[in-house]
């Protein structure tokens, strides 16, 4: 009998826990606030992040990491990415050696600049043969409503990815597999930067041409950095690349996109971040991506300007001519050299 643990009860963690529980797996969802765990367990609904969706009997909520982790077939890590390491350290005493561990968060650890599975590898003994990462165009409320969705799970060991694909697949959640862990993970993390920019473009009412060009150049920027960091270039044409970029940049459901629109209206970043419990990972990811770009000597003009908007209060309207009037260049410049020079 397969049993599941989900660590992190925000919108995505709750959605994944519901998916697994509705498949009939006994699933335990971990919430880090004890009183909120009790409240959610009592109400049988996550009223804050996923209102209106009733929990089946197979889904239990707890604030005990032991209950959420011990003896499970698979656990999914769905905390804010900057909290990944501390949560892993806390749950490690309860983690059985055979439990599969899947990252479902999209971010890069500040300071270390590690991807989430790199953090998993550092914290979990003998992790390589049992860890994986899940990504793709997965706006949580659509998945929770069982709307048809595609995703990708990447693992170093192909059989592990296949095993996890089997556990996650449903009639509304089609999962592909990959062995390109860096590509899948960087695609998912870096698209949040571009989604904030797309929100700014929407907020400034610059139109669809502008947004399409911006997404396209965003993909070029993600690909350049990803390839330099060891990703397979083709991954950025897949679920975790163009797939997630389209969903997140186009949808008003995206929290990163929403943040961009609020910035365009003149709201201050600190006020926006204080006004919500939801995570918009793109802001911290911009900081980390710029440091990675410096490490790999990759140009990221969009991320640089967004960094100036976030951290130096650059007026978004002033950023636009800077992008438009950069030195003209060939469309594939930079991508080709990264491809030839990268490990991908």
Ligand X SMILES: O=P(O)(O)OC[C@H](O)CO
Ligand Y SMILES: NC(=O)c1ccc[n+]([C@@H]2O[C@H](COP(=O)([O-])OP(=O)(O)OC[C@H]3O[C@@H](n4cnc5c(N)ncnc54)[C@H](O)[C@@H]3O)[C@@H](O)[C@H]2O)c1
Q: Which positions touch ligand X (CB under 6 A)? A: 106, 137-139, 192, 195, 244, 247-248, 254-256
Cβ-in-10-Å burial (0-12, 13-18, 19+) of 162 comes to middle
Q: Any binding-site annotation on 275?
A: no
Task: Pick the catalytic residue from 22, 23, 83, 191.
Answer: 191
Number of residues that bind ligand Y (CB under 6 A): 25
40 binds ligand Y (CB under 6 A): no
Cα 36 from Cα 292, distance rounded (Å) = 37
145 neighbors 117 (Cβ within 8 angstroms): no
78 binds ligand Y (CB under 6 A): yes
Q: Least CB distance from residue 140 to ligand X, whole Å?
A: 7
94 binds ligand Y (CB under 6 A): no
Q: Any binding-site annotation on 256?
A: yes
5 neighbors 21 (Cβ within 8 angstroms): no
Q: Which strand ranges, in their side-by-side order, compose the sheet holding 131-135?
A: 59-62, 26-30, 3-7, 74-77, 100-103, 131-135, 149-154, 173-178
Q: Any binding-site annotation on 191?
A: yes
Q: Any binding-site annotation on 12?
A: yes
Active site residue 191: yes
Cα 142 from Cα 148, distance rounded (Å) = 8
Which partner, ligand Y, ligand X, none, binds residue 9 by CB below 5 to 8 Å per kind?
A: ligand Y
- CB 311: neighbour CB atoms within 10 A? 13
Site string for ligand Y, 221-260 (x = CB under 6 A): ----------------------------------------
199 binds ligand Y (CB under 6 A): no
138 binds ligand Y (CB under 6 A): yes
Alpha helix locations (H) across the chain? 11-22, 34-43, 65-69, 84-91, 116-123, 140-144, 158-168, 181-203, 207-228, 244-250, 255-264, 269-274, 282-296, 301-311, 316-324, 335-341
Write the CB contacts of 328 (distance below 8 Å, at least 6 apart in sequence): none
Residue 323 CA: distances (Å) to CA of 55, 215, 217, 244: 47, 13, 10, 23
- Residue whose CB is less far from ligand X, 62 or 192: 192
Which segment (101-109, 162-170, 172-180, 226-234) binds ligand Y by CB under 6 A? 101-109
Cα 338 from Cα 229, distance rounded (Å) = 9
Q: With the C-alpha atoms ordered 46, 258, 247, 230, is the resulting torsion angle positive or negative?
A: negative
187 binds ligand Y (CB under 6 A): no
Q: Any binding-site annotation on 279?
A: yes
DSSP letter (8 states) at residue 30: E
Which segment (72-80, 302-310, 322-330, 331-339) binds ligand Y by CB under 6 A? 72-80
Which partner, ligand Y, ligand X, none, binds residue 244 by CB below 5 to 8 Å per kind?
A: ligand X
Beta bridge partners of 61: 29
28 binds ligand Y (CB under 6 A): no
Can you tell me whether residue 192 is helix, strand or coil?
helix
217 binds ligand Y (CB under 6 A): no
140 binds ligand Y (CB under 6 A): yes
Tell me which of 62, 63, 79, 163 binds ligand Y, using CB under 6 A: 79
Which partner, ligand Y, ligand X, none, binds residue 197 by CB below 5 to 8 Å per kind?
A: none
Q: Per-residue b/e over 257-295, b at no fewer than 16 CB within 10 Å? A: bbbbbbbbeeeebeebeeeeeebbbbbbbbbbbbebbee
281 binds ligand Y (CB under 6 A): yes
173 binds ligand Y (CB under 6 A): no
Binding site for ligand Y (CB under 6 A): 8-13, 32, 49, 78-81, 83, 87, 104-107, 138-140, 277-279, 281
Q: Which residues are annotated binding-site positions for NADPH? A: 12, 32-33, 106, 140, 255, 279, 281
Q: Which residues are annotated binding-site positions for substrate? A: 106, 255-256
Q: Which residues are annotated binding-site positions? A: 8-13, 32-33, 106, 136, 140, 191, 244, 254-256, 279, 281
* Active-site annotation, residues: 191
């Amino acid at each position: 009998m397969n049993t599941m643990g989900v660590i992190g009860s925000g919108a995505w963690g709750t959605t994944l826990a519901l998916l697994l529980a509705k498949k009939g797996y006994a699933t335990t969802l971990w919430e880090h606030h004890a009183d909120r765990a009790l409240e959610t367990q009592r109400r049988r609904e996550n009223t804050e992040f996923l209102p209106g969706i009733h929990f089946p009997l197979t889904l239990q909520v707890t604030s005990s990491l032991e209950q959420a982790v011990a003896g499970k077939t698979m656990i999914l890590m769905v905390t804010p990415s900057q909290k990944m390491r501390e949560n892993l350290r806390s749950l490690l005493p309860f983690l059985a050696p055979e439990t599969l561990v899947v990252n479902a968060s999209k971010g890069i650890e500040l300071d270390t600049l590690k991807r989430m599975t790199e953090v998993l590898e550092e914290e979990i003994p003998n992790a390589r043969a049992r860890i994986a990462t899940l990504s793709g165009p997965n706006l949580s409320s659509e998945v929770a409503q069982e709307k048809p969705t595609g995703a990708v799970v990447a693992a170093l060991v192909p059989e592990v990815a296949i095993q996890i694909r089997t556990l996650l697949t449903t009639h509304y959640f089609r999962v592909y597999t990959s062995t390109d862990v860096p590509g899948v993970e960087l695609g998912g993390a870096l698209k949040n930067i571009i989604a904030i920019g797309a929100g700014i473009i929407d907020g400034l009412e610059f139109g669809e041409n502008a947004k399409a060009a911006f997404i396209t150049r965003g993909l070029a920027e993600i690909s350049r950095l990803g390839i330099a960091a060891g990703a397979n270039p083709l991954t950025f044409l897949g679920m975790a690349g163009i797939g997630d970029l389209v969903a997140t940049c186009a949808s008003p459901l995206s929290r990163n996109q929403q943040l961009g629109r609020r910035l365009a209206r003149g709201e201050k970043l600190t006020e926006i971040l204080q006004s919500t419990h939801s995570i918009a990972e793109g802001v911290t990811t911009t900081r980390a991506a710029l440091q990675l770009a410096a490490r790999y000597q990759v140009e990221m003009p969009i991320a640089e300007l967004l960094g100036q908007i976030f951290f130096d209060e650059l007026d978004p309207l002033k950023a636009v001519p800077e992008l438009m009037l950069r030195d003209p260049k060939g469309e594939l410049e930079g991508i080709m050299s990264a491809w030839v020079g990268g490990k991908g």
